[in-house]
Amino acid sequence: MQKYAIGDNKMRINRDKYLNELISKMHNKMIKIITGIRRCGKSYLLNEIFYDYLISLGVNEDHIIRISLEDLENEYLTDAYVLNNHVKSLIKDDQMYYLIVDEIQQVNRFVPLLNGWLKIKNLDVYVSGSNSRFLSKDVITEFRGRGDEIYVSPLTFKEYYDARGKDFDDAWNEYIIYGGMPFVLERSTNEQKSKYLKDLFNEIYIKDIKERYGIRNDSQLETLLNIISSSIGSLTNPSKIEHTFKSVKQETLSRNTIESYLDILEDTFLIKKTNRYDIKGRKYINTPSKYYFVDMGLRNARLNFRQLEDTHMMENIIFSELIHRGYNVDIGVVEVSEKNENGNYVRKSLEIDFVANISNDKIYVQSAYHLPSPEKVKQEIRPFLNVDDSFRKFIIVRDNIDVRKDDYGITTIGLKHFLLNDDPFRL
């Protein structure tokens, strides 16, 4: 398949995964809803990449209706009735038309409008939006099963790496700090990248959240964001966060409010929550959980580019990569009974960083920045050795090493192999 790209001739970013998803959902009699955090490339995906694909199929330009409701010249179309009449006026025959509407949330009654478009037999509809009103997970349910979501993430490392044209280590050192928001690639200096990410966080995301949810106490929301940003890869829960507010900030914030704020940050795609899964008991453990950022650059910008711990940042990026590859990801918990120094048996919980599965295929993954000693290796494989199933087990290390498997069947792969191969677990 031909590749379509974001960017100019100097810097091109292929997003074939999302193009293929759009292609697979064409003509399925559902609204294709492109969601994802603002500025991650949703509009370009529809208006350039997918548009070019339609043209390559021989679709006439006048059968591709593109409307950006962010443009001043289209402001009159933010009225649902006016937009509906405008779209219908452009349908001149019985051939298939493709409707691409950007910033659909600008229309006050866009849900019934979209449901009405579903009744037009020769209209295939694709919409995107980029504020918290549209990006809420609830909007998908409002279509009563007639919306088909395509979630778009910021650039993966491979997309970033291919666009930058640098060697692996140089690209990684940039990516781990500034993340994968596409417009970061257009900033030439670190100062420009930092400013862009800070402005994006404060002027776009925070502002959207406050408007959508009517949040008036800015300081509490921002303090919570700082706490979550500082604790990526660490177990936490609303009660623990409530205690942090009291002990460190000398503020009182109820557990219910904290839960509400965390839900909001998830709904607007800033963070993702992972639950713990008892592997032997085959059940979920409700609390505590872990939170990861959808983009490492945004997380670092939130903390003013402090607390740049390579181990936690690598773990966050591995998590995001697993999600991008279509895995459902949990934290693994293995309960063991071991003798203590007094000879008494005690229960202990060992952790596997990620239990990732697609359908019936499951893998276990540990993120280990370095394995400098036999003791460190033993620490990482210990949870694996207490899992009594035959699913594949992997350790991902920062070092650029050859893939190797030990006597226990545990495979160690380098970060470069994991990030740059389409199927790194097929060995």
Distance (Å, rounded) from C-alpha 28 to C-alpha 373?
Answer: 54
* Residue 7's pLDDT band (cuts 50, 70, 90): very low
In this predicted structure, the answer to whether residue 4 has a pLDDT above a threshold of 50 is no
Distance in angstroms (rounded) separating the CA atoms of residues 412 and 222: 39
Q: Summarize the confidence of residues 93-122 as an average pLDDT.
A: 93
CB-based contacts of 330: which residues, under 8 Å, 6+ apart? Answer: 274, 275, 276, 277, 284, 354, 355, 356
Q: Could you tell me the pLDDT band of residue 132, with boundaries at 50, 70 and 90?
A: low
Does the pLDDT of residue 5 top 90, yes or no?
A: no
Does 158 score more than 90 pLDDT?
A: yes
Contacts 24+ apart (CB under 8 A), 353-358: 353/315, 353/318, 354/274, 354/318, 354/319, 354/322, 354/329, 354/330, 355/277, 355/279, 355/329, 355/330, 355/331, 356/322, 356/327, 356/328, 356/329, 356/330, 357/327, 357/328, 358/326, 358/327, 358/328
List CB contacts of 71: < 8 A, sequence separation 6 or more. none
Q: What pLDDT band is residue 106 in, cutting at 50, 70 and 90?
A: confident
> What proportion of the chain, given as a percentage, has pLDDT over 70?
94
The pLDDT tens digits for 46-99 are 999 999 999 999 999 999 999 999 899 999 999 999 999 999 999 999 999 999
Mean model confidence pLDDT for the chain = 91
The pair of structure tokens assigned to 109 is 């009654």
Mean pLDDT along residues 41-50: 93
pLDDT above 90 as % of the chain = 72
- Exposed, middle or buried by CB within 10 Å (0-12, 13-18, 19+), for 247? exposed
Q: How many residues would you count in the chain?
A: 427
The CA distance from 277 to 259, in Å, is: 20
From the centroid of its chain, how far is CA 232? 14
